[in-house]
């Protein structure tokens, strides 16, 4: 097992050890989006999730404060802006 997969599994296991749905939701989001080699912690990365259509989106772990710019993934920021513009067009 390479170090990236090992790190993801360790972080997921810590969340799955928590009782209730919180740990399970956190683990699912980690499994979905976390990249230990990318900027920011797993919470920083999940906070920037742009998949508004995901049933877990409103329940995903989020930072209490906005993600600082130096922790943002430029590709995710650009994608988020495009999706927000598309959603605006659809709803207007
Ligand atoms: S909310 Fe985002 S990170 Fe979490 S499972 Fe859904 S798409 Fe993945």
60 vs 87, higher pLDDT: 60
Say if CB 24 and CB 10 are below 8 A apart: no
d(CA 46, CA 63): 9
Q: Which of ligand 1's atoms lies nearest the C-alpha of 55?
A: 6
For the stretch 10-32, pLDDT in tens is 999 999 999 999 999 999 999 99
- How many C-alpha atoms does 2 have within 13 Å on its Cβ side? 4
d(CA 47, CA 57): 9
Q: How far is the CA of 31 from the centre of ligand 1 (A)?
A: 9
pLDDT greater than 80 at residue 2 = yes
The predicted structure's pLDDT at residue 16: 97
For the stretch 45-56, pLDDT in tens is 999 998 889 999
d(CA 14, CA 82): 34
Whether the CB of 35 sits within 6 Å of ligand 1: no
Question: Probe ligand 1: pick from 11, 24, 32, max atoms within 8 Å of CB?
Answer: 32
């Amino acid at each position: 097992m390479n170090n990236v997969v090992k790190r993801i599994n360790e972080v997921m296991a810590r969340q799955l050890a928590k009782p209730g749905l919180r740990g399970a939701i956190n683990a699912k989001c980690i499994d979905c989006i976390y990249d230990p080699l990318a900027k920011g912690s797993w919470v920083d990365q999940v906070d920037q999730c742009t998949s508004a259509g995901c049933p877990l989106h409103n329940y995903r772990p989020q930072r209490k404060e906005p993600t600082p710019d130096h922790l943002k993934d430029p590709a995710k920021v650009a994608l988020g802006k495009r999706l927000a513009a598309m959603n605006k067009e659809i709803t207007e």
